[in-house]
Amino acid sequence: MLFEVKNLSLGYEKENIINNISFSVNDGDFIIVVGKNGAGKSTLIKGILGLIKPKSGEIVFDDSLNKKLIGYMPQETKVEQSFPASVFEIVLSGRINKMGFRPFYNKEDKAKATEALKILNIYDIKDKSFCDLSGGQRQKTLLARSLCATDKLLILDEPSNNLDNTSREEFYLLLMKLNKELGITIIMISHDADIDKMLGNKLLKIYDDGYEFSDIVEEI
């Protein structure tokens, strides 16, 4: 087990957004998180990443997982779309949390970035400017950056929002490859209809007044 969420409540100031939620994440899981806007999906992710503190309950991490080294892919912003850097520079920046007090990237960092580019089939565009990429290429680049940070756990916040159907299907195939072939655990927030019939082995549904956590096979 990578980590366990125990009776967790999260929120901001005096308002609770997530109330008394419990579930566990095991090695190799692919968990799809769904729910309407404002239900608390992104709040839950912030809690897992340690960006906000629990109001009650706890998240217990296995010794093998350092939460600072979780690969996180937030929703793409307009700032990211116009960022003046090459694909390789963007991907390499995923190594920052592993650098400690080192001021410069080393050979291992650069090798990891190159590996991520090749895994996601975007090595041929490594020198292109990020702002010149298509939507699908940008998402692959941001995924490669997240992959540089971890070989354990990826957390993705609605990564397919700005993709057309073809790019979305291609992106999902890459996620399946990372999960099935490389054994990376994935937690993904999604708004896609019927996403549970395409990806994942577990489904977390978050409602205004509760949640459901189940195997996707049972849902189908």
pLDDT digits (tens, 9 = 90+) for 40-65: 999 999 999 999 999 999 999 999 88
Does the pLDDT of residue 68 top 80, yes or no?
Answer: no
Is residue 86 one of the residues assigned to a domain? Answer: yes
Q: 88 in a domain, yes or no?
A: yes
Question: What's the pLDDT at 82?
Answer: 74
Average pLDDT, the chain: 91
| Residue 29 in tokens | 């899981």
The pLDDT tens digits for 11-22 are 998 899 999 999
Residue 220, pLDDT score: 39
Position 217 scores a pLDDT of 67
| The predicted structure's pLDDT at residue 121 | 95
Q: Is residue 15 part of a domain?
A: no
**DSSP class of residue 39?**
S
Do the domain assignments include residue 99? yes
**Structural domain of 100:** 77-149
Does residue 3 lie in a domain region?
Answer: no
Average pLDDT over residues 115-142: 95
Nearest by Cα to 196 from 171, 213, 177: 213
Asked, for residue 133, whether it belongs to a domain, the answer is yes
Question: Do the domain assignments include residue 143?
Answer: yes
Helices 135-148 and 165-180: crossing angle in degrees, nearest 10, is: 20
Residues 6+ positions from 69 with CB-CB distance below 8 Å: 97, 98, 149, 150, 152
In this prediction, residue 79 has a pLDDT band, given cuts at 50, 70 and 90, of low
Do 211 and 21 touch, CB atoms closer than 8 A? yes
Tens-place pLDDT, residues 81-106: 777 899 999 999 999 988 877 889 99
What is the count of structural domains for the chain? 1
Q: Do the domain assignments include residue 82?
A: yes
